[in-house]
A and B are shown apart, each in its own frame.
Chain A
């Protein structure tokens, strides 16, 4: 077999060789290089590499730099891309308590939590609420629950209504619809701007792949994730634990398994419970209250939860429609009847916001005659008083203006201001790469080849992934014999400071390969931190930057000490 072409100027022949030997090349990509390739993919080519790392991957045809300056992993390189070993090997992990956020939304949206921070913190930390989340330790649940309420409040998702917290339906659904890593990003750092939310969200999405990872190496992992996403998670470890994203067991760190937590349907019983074998892809939190979050998820439709739903603008028909959609079996007859009766009670007395228009009798008659205006009238308690829909104020003002009421002034009185809604995050796509490499690293072959060679250059090339099998030819390298001092010195000088490496072999057989740096001492060069007298170099050559740096001792000199 030919050797991999060491020099990029070898053009098409090099490309053809790479194409023909793609699997063999991938099989000699070490796990360390595989992690680099994976990082490049996960960062969409934005992961920073050293010159040497880039050269090493590029010379083997594993990556290429695109015109826009970003890196792209080639087809061959993709064969060595995987989550393992970057995030540990995937094994059986604890299931993620996926009902946490829907159930928290239900609790907050119920309108039952007091708005004062100290009071709602106490409520959320109570056994009554914490006890429903049987998979989560109480102190972790309390911290995460309080943080959730705080963050949603800070982001403007929560309303303060008559001393109680509540959410409107639109906001609740918006938050519910976010992917888990986006939700967590908001919870951990609600203060971040959109760009940094994206980074954090992506970092959390990656953490979700963590499996059986050494606790001692977690610092390295966070550095890798920072290189990929641009966000340093190391200060947020506590939140990752509190929000049940990761757990530590016997010195190993894993992320909770979010994979098996979705359910398409539910069982709805005549005792008004909703039971699903995982988290429902349905906003049941709008009209049901949480009973238990465990392997399965249980909710109950109660008078209070129905009231919360009606308060958010849902009707009995909306709830029934959703229940029918998710119910695996026919709905028990009494469910519909009961919800309708609750809706009847709710509708019997309603409180809504309105704007009041008071006009004289003549104008009232004109307004009565405007059909487009009538659709915005909520009620008309007397002939010249109109209760108007405040949400469509702009529209009905325009209608009045068109009808000639151009003297209508601005609305008087106290103005209700609500917090502006936070911008919706677009879903941060979770990077899709395989759990395991398509072509595993053949470490045994590499080790065997290194063991069998006595050439330092060959060893370096094997270790660099250029030699793919025992019958590979050593690539041709122009060597300068040490006898030609001037030529040798010119070569060293030409390499110094360039993206190339010096191969220097001494008479005793010791070899050093590395970047050459000008030495302070004339006639010397520094390679891999060692000062070398150029005169003592027996053989010298220029190697590409992609060849691994080595220092290999020569044969021990004869000694007459005996």
Chain B
């Protein structure tokens, strides 16, 4: 491929030749109106979508400007269908405008009377709309997010001109002990925008280990509002609190933990998804949702937003007047609700290829190894005779993995090593074989903290962990991960596990995944590796060990 760097296809995907001298300039031009789909080593794929175009228009980029930029970088004439799509979608933005009305309601106006009829015809929507004589509608303030999300699904983008004003002010001063990295500042700028309507909410996708927590703290300091931070587990809550105290002049009196152990509500409060979605009975209301409404929050951070539980979607829909930031490394949801994250928390504002941060040294260079192991003759027959449903587990728990792990550990005497697995019996087997400490779901939080701390201090060389350590655990010195089993073909889990060893350090990291060859585990492994392959990570395949 030569000349201009961008190939635009009629299905609105765009291929960027990263070896072109103009690749960086082109990327900067198109990222504002397209989504990064994948970024393997040679050709990155971006896509134009309704949402990406509407977000671009809402941030002040016109359809003509988008077409001009595409024309500038496109290797070939841009397909007329693509041009039509851009013009059509961009012209739709502004057909529906949300503005202030009174304390109870907001006003939804439509550009043409026919749009009013279209909205009335939508059964899912009409219950939230109170029609007015002039064709506009009143919407209960509580339903602002729900209506916006529904309308986006129906192809009606809403130009929400109500500024984010909610929340009590809070001065958060940063300590001068650290310098934000360029991409963190870029992401912050993309998130905050010009401060006007349409900015100050959204999702940022950054690789594991690249400092998403720092970005959250920078955003909180910039906004200067009382802040609620939601995390996937207690360990992550403690990490956030530790970082907040270290990076800012906030005191322990100003930063609270709202978890199973403590129920503090302070100007900055960090809590878990589990604690806010707890309810006494399965059909009843969520009593702790009151936390969202009673803290005077002006900013909510959704850490690991890909794990956002369904009930939180609902409450987030009611929090549209508050600044919202979603943070994740891998926005892949098994339930396919990525779009809802974008419409309720906010659109993807920033995304960067993992390989770029690795080559700049902001995350560790990691080498991935797939170690293919054989069954013993006895296990081979056991596997062959097993039912389809139990085959995967038999392969995953191949006892030959113990010996392979032993050799890997011997090969890395100076590294801090995590052994990560799915099955408790298997993890117990490893503990019994090696005698290393183990963390599983049943390990008390205090004990977990102690072990993580000992691991950080290098008092423990090897730590065996279950899926509780899949994400949101900051272990800066971990440089080797041995994956002995996983949740079938989960790409998300593979990427998050690799993420545990991506904190930059003075030596490279190694991610080993142990596979029983010629079994179902091999097929699942290939699926698991898909996301990382799309990020440019290459697995070496080694036989035995």
Given A269-B40, A332-B41: A296 in contact with B15 (beta carbons within 8 A): yes
Pairwise interchain contact A295-B40, C-beta atoms closer than 8 A: no
Q: Please give, as numbers and ranges, the residues of chain A lying within 8 Å of B343 by CB-CB distance.
A: none
Pairwise interchain contact A271-B534, C-beta atoms closer than 8 A: yes
Pairwise interchain contact A295-B8, C-beta atoms closer than 8 A: yes
Query: Smallest distance from the beta carbon of B3 to chain A beta carbons, Å?
Result: 10
A277 to B540, CA, bound (A): 28
From B322-330, B410-418, B516-524, the one touching the partner chain is B516-524
B9 within 8 A of A: yes
Given A292-B9, A303-B526, A328-B1: A269 in contact with B541 (beta carbons within 8 A): no
B378 within 8 A of A: no
Q: Would you list which residues of chain B between 207 and 221 have a CB under 8 Å from chain A?
A: none
Given A270-B533, A296-B15, A344-B517: A277 in contact with B541 (beta carbons within 8 A): no
A292 to B9, CA, bound (A): 10
Pairwise interchain contact B10-A273, C-beta atoms closer than 8 A: no
A227 within 8 A of B: no
Query: Smallest distance from the beta carbon of A271 to chain B beta carbons, Å?
Result: 4
The answer, among B9, B522, B530, B538, for a CB contact under 8 Å with A332, is B538
Pairwise interchain contact A269-B10, C-beta atoms closer than 8 A: no
Pairwise interchain contact B538-A334, C-beta atoms closer than 8 A: yes
The answer, among B43, B518, B534, for a CB contact under 8 Å with A345, is B518
Pairwise interchain contact B10-A334, C-beta atoms closer than 8 A: no
A268 to B1, CA, bound (A): 12
Q: Please give, as numbers and ranges, the residues of chain B lying within 8 Å of A523 by CB-CB distance.
A: none
Given A292-B11, A295-B9: A341 in contact with B38 (beta carbons within 8 A): no
The answer, among A92, A270, A275, for a CB contact under 8 Å with B538, is A270
Pairwise interchain contact A296-B538, C-beta atoms closer than 8 A: no
Pairwise interchain contact B42-A267, C-beta atoms closer than 8 A: yes
B77 within 8 A of A: yes
A459 within 8 A of B: no
Interface size on B, as a range, is 35 or more
B539 within 8 A of A: yes
A296 to B1, CA, bound (A): 10
The answer, among B17, B19, B40, B542, for a CB contact under 8 Å with A270, is B40
Pairwise interchain contact B42-A134, C-beta atoms closer than 8 A: no
B372 within 8 A of A: yes
| Chain A 340-362 interface mask (CB, 8 Å, partner B; 1/0) | 11001100100000000000000
A338 within 8 A of B: yes
A340 to B17, CA, bound (A): 28
The answer, among B11, B42, B526, B541, for a CB contact under 8 Å with A294, is B11
> Considering residues B1, B8, B76, B539, which has the most beta carbons from chain A within 10 angstroms of its beta carbon?
B1
Q: Would you list which residues of chain B between 39 and 63 have a CB under 8 Å from chain A?
A: 40-43
Query: Smallest distance from the beta carbon of B19 to chain A beta carbons, Å?
Result: 8
Q: Would you list which residues of chain B between 491 and 545 have a CB under 8 Å from chain A?
A: 517-518, 522-523, 526, 530, 533-534, 536-542
A269 to B41, CA, bound (A): 6
Q: Please give, as numbers and ranges, the residues of chain A lying within 8 Å of B538 by CB-CB distance.
A: 270, 332-334
Given A134-B9, A294-B11: A271 in contact with B530 (beta carbons within 8 A): yes
A329 within 8 A of B: yes
A19 to B539, CA, bound (A): 72
Query: Smallest distance from the beta carbon of A345 to chain B beta carbons, Å?
Result: 5
Query: Smallest distance from the beta carbon of A348 to chain B beta carbons, Å?
Result: 6
Q: Please give, as numbers and ranges, the residues of chain B lying within 8 Å of A338 by CB-CB distance.
A: 526, 539, 541
A135 within 8 A of B: yes
Q: Please give, as numbers and ranges, the residues of chain A lying within 8 Å of B8 by CB-CB distance.
A: 295
Query: Smallest distance from the beta carbon of A540 to chain B beta carbons, Å?
Result: 62
Pairwise interchain contact A270-B541, C-beta atoms closer than 8 A: no
Pairwise interchain contact B40-A273, C-beta atoms closer than 8 A: yes
B75 within 8 A of A: yes
A470 within 8 A of B: no
A453 to B126, CA, bound (A): 81
A277 to B43, CA, bound (A): 11
> Considering only CB atoms, which chain A residue lies closest to B515 in the complex?
A341
6 A-B residue contacts at CB 8 Å? A292-B11, A292-B13, A295-B75, A303-B526, A329-B19, A340-B541
3 nearest A-B pairs in the assembled complex, by CB-CB distance: A337-B541, A269-B40, A271-B533
A residues neighboring B (CB under 8 Å): 92, 95, 134-135, 267-273, 275, 277, 292, 294-296, 303, 328-329, 332-334, 337-338, 340-341, 344-345, 348
> What would 16 more interface pairs be, CB under 8 Å, given A275-B15, A337-B542?
A134-B9, A267-B1, A270-B536, A271-B38, A272-B533, A273-B40, A296-B7, A328-B1, A334-B533, A334-B539, A337-B539, A338-B526, A341-B372, A344-B518, A345-B517, A348-B518
